[in-house]
Structure 1
Amino acid sequence: MKISVNSPCPCGSSKKLKKCCKLFHNGLNASNALELMKSRYSAYVVGDSKYIMKTTHEENPDYTDDKDSWSESIKEFSKNSEFNGLVILEFIDGENEAYVTFKALITQHGNDVSFVEKSKFFKINGLWLYHSGVID
């Protein structure tokens, strides 16, 4: 989805995309797992597959060394999804392991889908990475 950097950030903050999650997409490191989770959601909205891949832990089931097909799959998902909102339900911070529970509202092929996921994040060499998620 093409979205202007002057649009409200998809993560739900009151900031413009360019003053919020775009900073992370451009290289700023998230200071905690919540920032990473919200910036990853925004990356899906704008179709930034490179950011999604860069911030995914190697133990994640979606992680693959075939970057071309992984990137294409992320872009396809983003292109075929309308992202209608993100609600943070819980954030459990930790020094090297953290959890974010969120509700995402998405429309795919005309069908409204909402799901709740509890995501696990690890801090590796000072960088937060998305490890895995359990959907309720």
Structure 2
Amino acid sequence: MKLSANAPCPCHSGEKYKRCCFPYHKGMLPSDVLKLMRSRYCAYALDLPHYIIATTHRANIDYTEETAAWKESIREFSLNTRFSGLKIIEFVDGESVAYVTFEAILNDTPFREKSRFLKENGKWLYESGEFQ
């Protein structure tokens, strides 16, 4: 999905896309897991599977070296899902492990997850999530 840089960011931050998640989608590293989590939600909404793959830790259950199949799976999810809300519940920062608990609305159905992120070589990566 193409989005104007001046459009509201799909992560529901209230910021314009160009000032919110766009820099991360273009290669800038998020400085904390809250920004990474929001940019991943946005990447799903915008059908950017390369970003999801690049920000997923190898220990994640979905991680695979078969990136073509993984990319197609992400694309199918993105294209068949309405991303209509994101609310941050809790953000616990750390040096090498951090957590974000959030509530998202996908296809008009809310769900809550506590996401775990690991810092590897100076880069935060999504490792796992636990539904709440």
TM-score range, shorter chain: over 0.9
Q: Which runs of 4+ in 1 moved over 6 A?
A: none
1:113-132 aligned at under 5 Å gives the runs 113-132=109-128
Give TM-score, length-normalised by structure 1.
0.94
Q: CA RMSD in A?
A: 0.9
Q: Any idea what SS the aligned residue of 1:69 has?
A: helix
State the Cα distance separating 1:99 from its structure 2 match: 0.3
Residue 7 of structure 1: aligned partner:
7
Amino acid at match of 2:120: I
Give the CA deviation at 1:5. Answer: 2.3
Q: Deviations over 1:35-66 (max 9, x none)?
A: 10000000001000000000000000010000
Give the Cα–Cα distance (whole angstroms) in 2 for the partners of residues 83 and 113 of structure 1. Answer: 10
Match of 1:66 in 2: 66
Deviation per CA, 1:72-111, whole angstroms, max 9, x where unpaired?
110110000010010000000001100000000011xxxx
**Helix, strand or coil: the match of 2:82?**
strand
> Structure 1 residue 20: deviation in Å?
1.1
Q: Distance in 2 between matches of 1:2 and 1:26?
A: 14
Partner of 1:95: 95
Counterparts of 1:7 and 1:132 in 2: how far apart (Å)? 30
Identity score, percent: 53
3-state SS of 1:81 partner:
coil
Give unmatched runs, 5+ long, in structure 2: none
* TM-score, normalization by structure 2: 0.96
Distance across 1 between alignment mates of 2:118 and 2:48:
21
Residue 16 of structure 1, CA deviation:
1.1
